[in-house]
Amino acid sequence: MTEIENRNRTKLKLQTEKYQQLELLFEIYNLKNVREKLRKKLESIEKMIKRDCERNLTNRIEAMKVISTENNDRFKEVMSKLKSSYNIFKLVEELDKNNQYLANLNKERKRGRVDMEQYEITKGYYLQKVIDIYESVNQLKDLTITYYHELKDELIMFEDQRIKLTTEKLRKMITKKEFNQKSNEIESLKHQLEEKLAFFEIEIIDLELE
């Protein structure tokens, strides 16, 4: 294997690892949504139990608690694999905290509660943290845009497969049952991909930081 081939393979592996981080981010987003839905359902059922102690409701809530525990376990597992520089949720949270701290620091300085030297040192420290977060988010945006376009190509590929499938059906190359089965599989994959694209676009690409 040549040096160029080695470099290309290393580059491809690195890019794949970065994309895997984006996939973990999307899974965390879904797990959060599931957790929130479970929480609301549990609260609703618990209220119903207080009014009507039916056994089936009690069994149902126990089953949902099991699902909730599994969700939490998976969430912790995925979070342990996600690098902090890719965690857009945490980056935004940290940015808000640092900006708020700087705003409070300025108020304290105007009130004369912080001397100038301490003010400048502290301000410089937190401004650097804000700059670092902006850089991380911009790098994440660039990576996501690249991956987004690759996923869009996959979406086009699914549409091509659907057209091909329809043609095979018209030519009676496949049965109606086979067509329905494969068509449903394609639509399911398309739907999953569209959800992923929407997440990347709304939560990362179009994200506007203060």
Cα(136)–Cα(66) distance, integer angstroms:
37
Cα(199)–Cα(204) distance, integer angstroms:
8
| 196: enclosing H helix or E strand | helix 176-199
Q: Quick one: which of 184, 124, 125, 128 has its CA closest to 158?
A: 184
pTM exceeds 0.85: no
- The domains of the chain are located at 1-82, 83-210
pLDDT tens for the 210 residues of the chain, in order: 444 344 445 455 567 899 999 999 999 999 999 999 998 888 887 777 766 655 667 777 888 889 999 999 999 999 999 999 999 999 999 999 999 999 999 999 999 898 999 999 999 999 999 999 999 999 999 999 999 999 999 999 999 999 999 999 898 889 999 999 999 999 999 999 999 999 999 999 999 987
Q: Return the sign of the alpha-carbon dihedral for residues 64, 70, 74, 80.
A: positive
CB 58 within 8 A of CB 52: no
